[in-house]
Amino acid sequence: MALKRSMIRLTPEERAKFLATGRTLYLASNGDDGYPHLIAMWYALEPDGAIAMTTYRKSQKVKNVERDPRCAILLEEGATYDKLKGVFLRGRCEIIDDEERTLATLGKVGARMAGSTAPLPPEALGPMRSQAKKRVTLLFRADKTRSWDHSKLAGAY
């Protein structure tokens, strides 16, 4: 199995491209009852590779990260086994409670979801300010990465 795992692993460049083109990832934080809290999130990538997301300041995930910053992220696609492709990241989330930073993150995420690689222009951010006042930025940095692309097996299964 080790040979096959090495065959399907994404290169660092492939991982970066996959994360840059993904739409919805799953963020798992640790609930106070010991169970994972799993939630779908839209995101943007920071220049240093960190993943930025926004959420309501009073959300469960913020409470969880305040108590325990360890989180995991999964981004996956593929409708059949031979098309499965994904990245699993384990690391820590930082809560940034700063309205301007959160406004900028909302702009980056909004631009990505609209299909743009450029952030929204400053004039487009105005209507988002009311949201930024209620939200925080979650900044995730991975310290462990796993990835797979079953299409690399070319029918080996």
CATH code of domain 2-153: 2.30.110.10
Q: What is the pTM of this model?
A: 0.92
**Cβ atoms 101, 53 nearer than 8 A:** no
Distance CA 111, CA 44 (A): 9
Residue from 25, 20, 27, 15 nearest 111 by CA: 20
pLDDT for the residue numbered 118: 79
- 111 class by beta-carbon count within 10 Å (0-12 exposed, 13-18 middle, 19+ buried): middle
- Domain ranges in the chain are 2-153
**Cβ atoms 45, 116 nearer than 8 A:** no
pLDDT in tens, the chain (157 residues): 455 778 899 999 999 999 999 999 999 999 999 999 999 999 999 999 999 999 999 999 999 999 999 999 999 999 999 999 999 999 999 999 999 999 999 999 999 988 887 778 878 888 889 999 999 999 999 999 999 999 998 865 5
Task: Take residue 18 and report the two structure tokens written for it.
Answer: 């996959």
